[in-house]
Structure formats: structure tokens, C-alpha cells
Amino acid sequence: MQKKLLAEFLGTYALVFVGTGAMIVNQASGGMVTHVGVALTWGLIVLAMIYALGDVSGAHLNPAVTLGFWTARRMEGRTVAPYLVSQVGGALAASLTLSWFFPLNPTLGATLPAGSDGQSFVLEVILTALLMFVILSVSTGAKEKGITAGIAVGAVITLEAMFAGPICGASMNPARSLAPALVSGHLESLWVYLTAPVLGALLAVPTCRYIRDSGSI
């Protein structure tokens, strides 16, 4: 269990450090990374962490995904809270590291809606439901099946970040949004990114179960 929790801590640290780091560098460099580059960065770091840590902890890297796996009966209830703590801890450590590197950046990659909170809430629910549906479809238990899982999950994250990022931020991950919000002090609209991804992940579970016509996915 200690190895699994360390894997979730390190994986989520890498996710937030690289993903929000790309956003910060894009701002600092006047757009040199570009929006497409940022979206690819999010997808590629998830792909890399799935390959590196998927066989250890499942490389959830996301409280919404962990809750989705638990709802789908793919992991024991006693492991859920430790996973969530490790993920949030890794994300916070990453945002604190970035705040040291870029002390003048005002948001540190915090997720902020471009429009209304309601619009971003609905988008985040749909985006996370699609992500969780793919994850459930390419995984066995709480772990990924292999090379195809990393490609599929990374591709979904890239595509969703590419088209929805400019509107809602395409967080799909409460830990990813919580950490930079807390460290930068931008807590406005944080409720959207703590609740919508969880709701989306939970909605994906019965949908996947119904489509696959199985009592247990």
C-alpha cells in the first residue's frame, strides 16, 4: 500500500508540475508553448505516468477517477481516502514548487472559467464522464490493460483540453484544480472543479455498465 500511495503522490506531482507548468511558461514566454502545446503536454504527461506507474497504483492521479473506480467496485473502500490524500498532497507539492520558480505568476495555472460558472460546470461534467468512460473501458480492475490504455486516456485528455480548455479549463481533476487555487489564492469558482468532475466520473459508471451489459464493470 505504501508503494501505491507513493506512486499516486509522485504521479500527481508530475501531472500538476508539468501540466500547470506548461501553462505558466506559456504565459511567461508570450505564448511560445501555445494552447495546442499545453493540451499535448497534459495528455503526454498522463500517458507517461500510466506507463510508469499504472502497474503499481493504477496511475489514477485524480480523485474523481479514484471515486469512479470505487463506485464501479474495482477498488476497496479502505484504500479510497489514502489515495485521495496522496493525490492532493502531490498536487499541492507541485504547485508549491512552481510558486518558488515563478513567484510573480498570479494564478499558477489555476482553473478559471472563461464564461459563467454554470457553463463550465456542465462542460466539466461531460468531459469527465467521457474521460471516465474511456478509462473504465480500457482498464481491468483499478489498473490499465497496457500500452493501449495510456494512448487512449492520454488522447482523450489532449482532445478535451484542446477544444474545451479555453472555455472551462478542462480540468476533469479536483486535485489539479485545488492545488494551484490554494497556493495562488484564486478560490473563485473552485466549487465547479471540485464537484463537476466527481459527478461526471460517477455518471460514467452506470453508463459503461449498461453499454457493456455486465453486472460489474
- Total structural domains within the chain: 1
What range defines the domain where residue 161 resides?
Answer: 2-212
Higher model confidence: residue 145 or residue 118? 118
Average pLDDT over residues 166-173: 96
> Residue 36: left (phi > 0), alpha (psi -120 to 50), or beta?
alpha
- Across the range 42-71, mean pLDDT stands at 94
Are residues 200 and 122 in contact, defined by beta-carbon separation less than 8 angstroms? no
Q: Is residue 217 one of the residues assigned to a domain?
A: no
Give 145 or 170, the one with higher predicted confidence. 170
Q: What's the one-letter identity of residue 198?
A: V
Average pLDDT, the chain: 93
- Amino acid identity, residue 156? V
Task: Flag whether 119 is in a domain.
Answer: yes
> What pLDDT does 213 receive?
64
Using one digit for the tens of pLDDT, what is the confidence trace for 185-216? 999 999 999 999 999 999 999 998 888 765 44
Residue 31, in any domain of the structure: yes
